[in-house]
C-alpha cells in the first residue's frame, strides 16, 4: 500500500504553464515511472498512465471533464482519485499527490500512492 509512513519524495515532472486547464500530459519520473498529469479546472492530479483493464496508455485517450478515457475500450477513470468509473475497467489506477512550487514547477510525491491492486491471477496461471 502507499507509503504514508515514508518521507515525501517530491519529484519534478513538468511546468504548470505547459499543462493548461482541460489538458493532460504524460510524464516519466527519474526512476522511469510513467504518469499522467491532468489539469482539471486549474487543479493538478497525477495518475498512473496505464489502464487497469488492458494496460493501455491513458495518455493516448481523452480528457472528458475530470475523467480520463482509455483509447482502447473506453474505460473511464477519475483524474483526482484514480477510481474506475466505467466498464470494462473495475480496478482503480494509482494516484499521486501533486504540488505546484513557487516557480511553477509541478512535483509529484512518488512515495505516496493510492495503488491499483495487482491483477488477479486466472486459474492455472503461473506467476
pLDDT tens across 72-97, in order?
999 999 999 999 999 999 999 999 99
Confidence of residue 119 (pLDDT cuts 50, 70, 90): very low
Q: How far apart are CA 48 and CA 9, in angstroms?
A: 16
Residues 6 or more apart from 62 whose CB is under 8 A from it? 68, 69, 71
Where residue 44 sits, what CATH number does that domain have?
2.102.10.10
Question: Within a domain: residue 104?
Answer: yes
Q: What total number of domains does the chain contain?
A: 1
* Rounded Cα–Cα distance for residues 108 and 55 (Å): 22
Whether residue 124 is contained in a domain is answered as: no
The residue range of the domain holding 23 is 10-109
Position 106 pLDDT exceeds 70: yes
* Residue 127 included in any domain: no
Give a yes or no: residue 51 inside a domain: yes
Mean pLDDT on 93-109: 96
Q: How far is CA 6 from the centre of its chain?
A: 20
> What digits encode the pLDDT tens for the residues 39-77?
999 999 999 999 999 889 999 999 999 999 999 999 999
Flag whether 34 is in a domain: yes
Amino acid at each position: 500500500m502507499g507509503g504514508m509512513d515514508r518521507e515525501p519524495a517530491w519529484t519534478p515532472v513538468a511546468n504548470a504553464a505547459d499543462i493548461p486547464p482541460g489538458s493532460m500530459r504524460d510524464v516519466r519520473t527519474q526512476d522511469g515511472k510513467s504518469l499522467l498529469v491532468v489539469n482539471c479546472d486549474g487543479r493538478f492530479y497525477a495518475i498512473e498512465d496505464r489502464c487497469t483493464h488492458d494496460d493501455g496508455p491513458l495518455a493516448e485517450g481523452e480528457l472528458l471533464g475530470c475523467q480520463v478515457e482509455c483509447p482502447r475500450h473506453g474505460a473511464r477513470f477519475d483524474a483526482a482519485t484514480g477510481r474506475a468509473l466505467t466498464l470494462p475497467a473495475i480496478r482503480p489506477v494509482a494516484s499521486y499527490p501533486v504540488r505546484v512550487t513557487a516557480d511553477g514547477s509541478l512535483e509529484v510525491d512518488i512515495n505516496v500512492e493510492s495503488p491499483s491492486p495487482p491483477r488477479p491471477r486466472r486459474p492455472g496461471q503461473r506467476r
